[in-house]
Amino acid sequence: MSLNSVVIAGAGHAGVQVALSLRQEGYDGRISVVNDEPWLPYQRPPLSKAYLLGKIDATAMQFRPAAFYAEQRIDLVADRGAAIDRQNRRLLLASGAALDYDHLVLATGAHNRPLNVPGAALAGVYGVKTRADAEALAPLLATARRVVVIGAGFIGLEFAAVAAAAGAAVEVLELGERPMARAVSPQMSELFRAAHASWGVNFRFRTAVSAIEGDNGKAVAVLAADGERLAADLVVYGIGVIPNVALALEAGLSIDNGIRVDANLLTSDPHVSALGDVASFPCLQNGERLTRLESVQNAVDQGRLIAARLTGKPAPYTALPWFWTDQGNLKLQIAGLSTGADNHVVLGDPAAQQVSVLCFRGEQLLAVESCGRVGDHMAARKILARPPALTPAVAAAPGFDLKAWEAANR
């Protein structure tokens, strides 16, 4: 099939990677990237950390300068996808314009799950998802003395660490029983709980929010469901995201916790692909169950795969998932998916904040979480990508070294 035009809806990591990889693969047709934000495409991970702290500026967050897109003949279209005309292969835009496509790539990402409590719309209540969010938060962070964070996932804890470093008293409210409970082992949760506590962060687990109290239109306190009132100059929430499926849903594409795609990242329409935070794909590391992953690695690897397929090199998506979060002076790196883990082997020294947790289900190694042990993380990615299998008994033996074992079992 000859492709003269590829239209990409979304200018985050996933959408931009498709465009870059198409040119790297030798594609010479028209590439249009629809960007619904008023600046050049940028990286999102620094938003809740380095950008908020002023350690990097907006230019440093850009994937590429404007001249690069012009040189590569990648058209950045400042608009938003409004509807897909599948019959005529046209993406209709919010401005009223339209883009014809031979192939459409949906990289529409996700948006913050809203905080559905009274007072959530008050001034001083923020999520952190876009550059606009971070730019609104930065000056407030400089003056806030009492900060309440709702949600102890990656984003909430990244912001909690930044706020504590800025000198604020920080309270974190979390419905679950421990930090990052859906993502990491109890052992790694405890390491990060203790680290945050040492930075002055106070946790309240098993605590729901009933309302946010305001004064003259501005948030002044968070009311917990147990009746406690927590004074706040600033409230930041991170309670998960919702995939942006509206465009696909209205076009009649299959939806299942995201836009449903096959192993080649094709939707139910052979002229439309989807990837990144919005795509639900059969994940090899999750028993080929439909899985939606929110990570830069996933967006980038899926972008490369789609570009390869569109230029005649199709292959199923089998890349090993890996993730990271920077909180304070700690970096947590995760290789694999720990869903269903029932046994954990801990390597290293928790007191020194240098630990790897090997997550097993029965005899099968599912994932490795590493804090302060970058070498373990790199070894884990190699081990999880191929046999032979590492067993819990071998890993638990005295003196076991993950890097050495990987080198000896290549």
pLDDT of residue 52: 85
d(CA 277, CA 257): 10
- Angle, helices 13-24 vs 296-310, to 10°: value is 40
Which residues, in sequence order, are bridge partners of residue 149?
172, 236
What are the domain boundaries of the chain?
A: 5-111+242-310, 125-239, 329-408
- By C-alpha distance, which of 111, 131, 107, 132 is closest to 13? 107
Task: Kindly state the helix (H) or strand (E) to which residue 70 belongs, with its residue range.
Answer: helix 66-71
CATH of domain 329-408: 3.30.390.30
Residue 67: phi and psi, rounded to 5, are: -60, -30
Which residues, in sequence order, are bridge partners of residue 92?
83, 98
User: Is residue 106 within 8 Å of residue 9, measured between CB atoms?
Assistant: yes
d(CA 76, CA 92): 15
pLDDT of residue 6: 98
Torsion-angle region of 155 (φ positive above 0: left; ψ -120 to 50: alpha; else: beta): alpha
- CATH fold of 5-111+242-310: FAD/NAD(P)-binding domain (3.50.50)
d(CA 111, CA 154): 15
The per-residue pLDDT of the chain, averaged, comes to 95
- By C-alpha distance, which of 65, 36, 45, 330 is closest to 196? 330
Q: Answer whether the bond into residue 388 is a cis peptide, omega within 30°.
A: yes
- Selected from 3.40.50.300, 3.30.565.10, 3.50.50.60, 3.40.50.10490, the CATH number assigned to the domain covering 125-239 reads 3.50.50.60
pLDDT of residue 47: 87
Residues 6+ away with beta carbon under 8 Å from 59: none
Low-confidence ranges of the chain (pLDDT < 50): none
Residue in the block written with tokens 């005309």: 85
- By C-alpha distance, which of 146, 201, 137, 213 is closest to 174? 201
Instruction: Let me know if the fold of 5-111+242-310 is the same as that of 329-408.
Output: no
The SS3 assignment for 259 reads: strand
- By C-alpha distance, which of 251, 273, 303 is closest to 105? 273
